[in-house]
Amino acid sequence: MCYVTAERAECVQLCVLSHLIAILVVVMHRIKILSGHLRPPGSSEHRRDLWRSECGCAGSSSPDDVVVVHGRRTAVGKAKRGAFKDTTPDELLSAVMTAVLTDVGLSPDKLGDVCVGNVLQPGAGALMARVAHFLSGFPETVPVYTVNRQCSSGLQALFNIAGAIRSRSIDLGLACGVESMSLRSIGEPGDLSSRLTDNDKARDCIIPMGITSENVAEKFGISREQQDAFALSSQQKAARAQDTGAFQREIVPVSTRFVDADGSERQVTVDRDDGVRAGTTLAGLGKLRPAFKPDGSTTAGNSSQVSDGAAAVLIGRRSAVEVLGLPVLGVLRASAVVGVPPDLMGIGPAVAIPAALEQAGLTVADIDVFEINEAFASQALYCVEKLGIPLEKVNPNGGAIALGHPLGCTGARQVVTLLNELRRRGRSILHEQRSVSKSAAGSRRFSCGFLGQLEPGQTTGRPETCTPPRAVCVGQRRHHECVQQGDEEAAETVVSVAAGRTPVRLPEGRGEYVGMEFYC
């Protein structure tokens, strides 16, 4: 174990407080059927309902559900060299705040609160956030505040807004995360008591993050080869995601200034993560020298990159979201934060994920996709192995090793990426997320037979369900439009897709059917 000495104080990183990692379980409407309001979380009956409802048995959603409406992120830039090296964080934040509301056509005065995760800006970036707020055209009556839970800050912002919704102090809020690691550096621990050296745990809080990675690798026997293989996989998945346009929907293009080496300035539009190294090989990774201690195994290739970026997620109470005709992208079912020893900070997900799963009455096997932060390959691998998660379920579009890790942004970025991935997997979700409840009128209300996204031309399978005579489309405005405008053909297509009467070919340009309800 290695402690920070006075000579190495310059490399002390801020992100070293007793580590609290938060895990968000967002599993689209599939999880709706597990509504914790019906049975005590964790009971076996509660868990079985998931599978029963996959076969078309009953479950329910609640008007009090905290639902995710929409989310966007900027591209992630390499700090100090990449596309956002000259961009201030308020601009990054404003880009995503604006895009999220514009996409769903929501006026900012409908927001009850805005919370922004940030780590490095002074005062956790409170001033920066309010400036971004006004740059986005938000009225002064909408409040904004910031939160710093170190590398989980973007996720904590989401939990804070969700908590305010649950306590009914707001109906709708925006959860964001932002970081410029170009313009502010890690490594400024601030003013700390000299007594910290007398207290083992307090002293461990100033261990550099890279050394905590070495500690995890040593203590749990995660070899250099394993770490490099994990890093390679992260790079390959991210490169594939870029090639297939998987990030296109989530990235907000940002026009900004870029200063070249000769001091000349130009305008650039940034819409691509610039840290991904498609040409990464195991041999290349194997040649890299340890970055944090001479005989260590943590390198520039198997560590997260120091980065700039922002993300924003709009969430609300289902009842309020429905009144506003907004789409429902996912449901927040559980969240957990658990403290771990500061010298092993990266093991957080291995204890926080089970805590969140227990709350939701789920097991690892029930979850389709995990987004686990890749602060370092050592800790990410440890968590995956400890929890027995099949590797193919983890970060299917790569993680922070390939994409970068703008500290305060990453948690919110992961939510955006996760929900887009689940939306892309709409086909399988189609079979799993039906629920039935009695509406006030006594008709049976099928809630969201389909919550995934279908691309034009893509077909769905055929879940076993009744044939609904009438569809009321919620979610993407095009659903409303097709029904309200009496476009029978489009409405019929929506119904057919949802009911799965026959595999249906969606008409060109009508591919985005996300969220609908129908009655029969």
Tell me which residues touch ligand ACO (CB under 6 A): 13, 15, 150-151, 209-210, 235, 277, 280, 284-285, 288, 291, 300-301, 303-306, 345, 373, 375, 405
Calpha distance 36→62 (Å, rounded): 10
Closer CB to ligand ACO, 208 or 361, in the complex? 208
Q: 517-519 and 444-447: which strand pairing? A: antiparallel
Minimum CB–partner distance for residue 305 and ligand ACO (Å): 5
Contact of 377 with 367, CB cutoff 8 Å: no
Calpha distance 95→91 (Å, rounded): 6
Give CA 273 to chain center in angstroms: 16
Backbone phi, psi, residue 455, to 5°: -80, 155
| Neighbour count for residue 218 (Cβ, 10 Å) | 13
What the block records as the tokens of 101 is 């509301």
CA dihedral 236, 239, 244, 248 (to 10 degrees): 140
Calpha distance 55→114 (Å, rounded): 39
Residue of 337, 369, 270, 257 whose CA lies nearest to 310:
270
Closer CB to ligand ACO, 83 or 252, in the complex? 83
Closer CB to ligand ACO, 84 or 446, in the complex? 84
Beta partners for residue 32, in sequence order: none
Contact of 36 with 376, CB cutoff 8 Å: no
Q: Got the DSSP string for 338-394?
A: EE--GGGGGGHHHHHHHHHHHHHT--GGG-S-B----SBHHHHHHHHHHHT--GGGB
Closer CB to ligand ACO, 345 or 504, in the complex? 345
Closer CB to ligand ACO, 209 or 314, in the complex? 209
Minimum CB–partner distance for residue 96 and ligand ACO (Å): 20
Query: In degrees, to the nearest 5, what angle opens at C-alpha 118 toward C-alphas 114 and 124?
Result: 95
Closer CB to ligand ACO, 235 or 242, in the complex? 235
Beta partners for residue 258, in sequence order: 266
Calpha distance 61→53 (Å, rounded): 12
Minimum CB–partner distance for residue 147 and ligand ACO (Å): 15
Angle between helices 488-499 and 477-484 (to 10 degrees): 130
CA dihedral 188, 189, 190, 193 (to 10 degrees): -150
- Reported in sequence order, the residue ranges of 164-237 that DSSP labels E, i.e. its strands, are 172-180
Calpha distance 25→480 (Å, rounded): 29
Closer CB to ligand ACO, 59 or 210, in the complex? 210
Minimum CB–partner distance for residue 149 and ligand ACO (Å): 10
Calpha distance 498→492 (Å, rounded): 10
Calpha distance 300→291 (Å, rounded): 6
Minimum CB–partner distance for residue 491 and ligand ACO (Å): 47
Minimum CB–partner distance for residue 15 and ligand ACO (Å): 5
Minimum CB–partner distance for residue 308 and ligand ACO (Å): 13
Minimum CB–partner distance for residue 151 and ligand ACO (Å): 3
Closer CB to ligand ACO, 212 or 447, in the complex? 212
Backbone phi, psi, residue 347, to 5°: -80, 0
Residue of 69, 58, 64 whose CA lies nearest to 110:
69
Minimum CB–partner distance for residue 439 and ligand ACO (Å): 45
Closer CB to ligand ACO, 231 or 490, in the complex? 231
Residue of 300, 277, 311 whose CA lies nearest to 410:
311
Minimum CB–partner distance for residue 51 and ligand ACO (Å): 35
Minimum CB–partner distance for residue 358 and ligand ACO (Å): 23
Closer CB to ligand ACO, 65 or 371, in the complex? 371
Closer CB to ligand ACO, 291 or 387, in the complex? 291
Calpha distance 336→353 (Å, rounded): 7
What the block records as the tokens of 230 is 């994990």
Closer CB to ligand ACO, 84 or 513, in the complex? 84
Minimum CB–partner distance for residue 191 and ligand ACO (Å): 22
Minimum CB–partner distance for residue 467 and ligand ACO (Å): 50
Contact of 379 with 19, CB cutoff 8 Å: no
Closer CB to ligand ACO, 88 or 298, in the complex? 298
